[in-house]
Structure formats: C-alpha cells, structure tokens
C-alpha cells in the first residue's frame, strides 16, 4: 500500500513533505479548486524531486494542449483526469507518452462496466466519493461498493480518508488498492498539510517504514 498526498502548492510545505517520502504528491490544475496551484508552483523544485516520489497533476476537463504543457513544465510523472474525459481522450494522451490515472466518482448506483473501455489507456483508476460538484468532498463512500469491481486494474482509494479509518483499507486485501489518496483531512488550511499527521498515516499504511526526518 502506498500514500498519495494531494493538493500541494506551497514550496516550504512541499519540501517538508518530501522529507517523509510520500509515494505520490498531487498538484491541482483546476481553477475552481481551493487548492488550485495558480502561479505558486516552483518549477525548479518539482524538477528536483527524488525518483521515489512521483508527481501527479490533477486536471478536470482540460484540453490536451494544456495538460501536455504542464506535464513538460513540471516534469509530471502522472496525469490524473478527474472530469468527464472519455476513453479516446485517455488514449490520445497515452499515445503522447503520458501516464494516466482516471478518476471516477462512486456511489451505490455506479456502473463499473463503464471502466472496461478505459482499461487499455490508463495505468490506474481512482475511486472517490460522488458529490454534487466536481472535486473532493472530504466524505467517505461505502467501500463495500468496490466488491462489484472486477479488480483487474489497481486503483487509488480517495474520499475522506483520515487517521481513524485508514486502517480499514488495510483490512480489504481482496481489493487491489494501490494507494490511499489523502487531502483535506490532513490540512491546517486548504493547500497546507499537517506533516506530523501524514507521518502518522504512513506509519499505519507502511509500518515497516523507517523515518529519518
């Protein structure tokens, strides 16, 4: 199990987080988000990341040109598509060498068969809580819904994950959960993460990890 910390933008906070070796760090390129990176993101800092921590750009119904520009500018390792992007959109980006995480908002009526056409063009899926608007809700969905998933493609689990419920994900070994994706439950304010809380999460998810920070 791995950890993805999303919604980063402050340089000092990013540096502090790097010291505890998260597996993935997410940056939101969606203007309507409270955590939109805007002009704050330090290009040189992102290009100096250790290989251990993968950089994920989060996009919502963006143009391919905009996505490819940001991939190149910040040396992004993955693109997370969090809008209504179709399989052909993913295919075209993949053809240009982009690694793709396709996000889906899940509720009790979610039809997992729609994922079949995406599988050839995505490295991972991401399952989040369905809300009234695009983006994270900070709420947890009923994870038992995932028993309907064929489990063929590993996925990121998102939506209201915190220190109280993270261990429950560890108790579902039949599901191919690649990583826990966290954001608002580990913040002091939008875009600023509580490093100590994230360190506690990593200890839960990867108890064998030895911290040097």
Q: How far apart are the first and last CA of the chain?
A: 21
Choosing from 42, 128, 181, 194, the catalytic residue is 128
Q: Is residue 167 part of a domain?
A: yes
Determine the structural domain holding residue 126 and report its residue range: 2-205
Residue tagged 């108890």 (tokens)? 207
Q: For residues 16 and 195, give the distance between their C-alpha atoms in angstroms, rounded to a whole number.
A: 7
Q: What contacts 112, CB < 8 A, 6 or more positions away?
A: 148, 149, 150
pLDDT of amino acid 155 = 98
Residue 213 has pLDDT above 50, yes or no: no
Instruction: Tell me if residue 128 is catalytic.
Output: yes
Q: Is residue 175 part of a domain?
A: yes
Q: For residues 82 and 103, give the distance between their C-alpha atoms in angstroms, rounded to a whole number.
A: 5
Share of the chain above pLDDT 90, in %: 86
Instruction: Tell me if residue 181 is catalytic.
Output: no
Q: Is residue 210 part of a domain?
A: no
For residue 96, the domain's CATH number is 3.20.20.70
Q: Is residue 200 part of a domain?
A: yes
**Count of structural domains, the chain:** 1
pLDDT of amino acid 132 = 60
Asked if residues 70 and 98 have their Cβ atoms less than 8 Å apart, the reply is no
- Give the strand pairing for 78-81 and 187-189: unpaired
Q: Is residue 211 part of a domain?
A: no
| Average pLDDT for 66-88 | 98
What predicted TM-score, i.e. pTM, was given to this entire model?
0.94
pLDDT of amino acid 118 = 98
Choosing from 6, 23, 122, 181, the catalytic residue is 6
Q: Is residue 213 part of a domain?
A: no
């Amino acid at each position: 199990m791995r950890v993805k910390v999303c919604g980063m933008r402050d340089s000092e906070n990013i540096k502090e987080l790097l010291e505890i070796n998260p597996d993935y760090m997410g940056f939101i390129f969606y203007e309507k988000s409270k955590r939109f990176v805007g002009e704050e993101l330090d290009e040189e800092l992102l290009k100096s990341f250790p290989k251990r921590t993968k950089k994920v750009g989060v996009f919502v119904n963006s143009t391919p040109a905009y996505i490819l520009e940001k991939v190149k500018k910040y040396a992004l390792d993955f693109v997370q598509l969090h809008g209504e992007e179709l399989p052909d959109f993913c295919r075209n980006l993949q053809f240009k060498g982009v690694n793709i995480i396709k996000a889906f908002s899940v509720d009790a009526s979610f039809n997992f068969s729609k994922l079949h056409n995406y599988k050839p063009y995505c490295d991972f899926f991401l399952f989040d809580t369905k809300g009234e608007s695009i983006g994270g809700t900070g709420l947890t969905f009923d994870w038992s819904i995932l028993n309907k998933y064929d489990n063929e493609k590993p996925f990121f689990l998102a939506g209201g994950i915190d220190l109280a419920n993270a261990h429950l994900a560890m108790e579902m070994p039949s599901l191919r959960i690649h990583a826990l994706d966290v954001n608002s439950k580990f913040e002091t304010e939008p875009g600023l993460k509580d490093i100590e809380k994230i360190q506690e999460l990593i200890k839960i998810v990867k108890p064998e990890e030895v911290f040097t920070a």
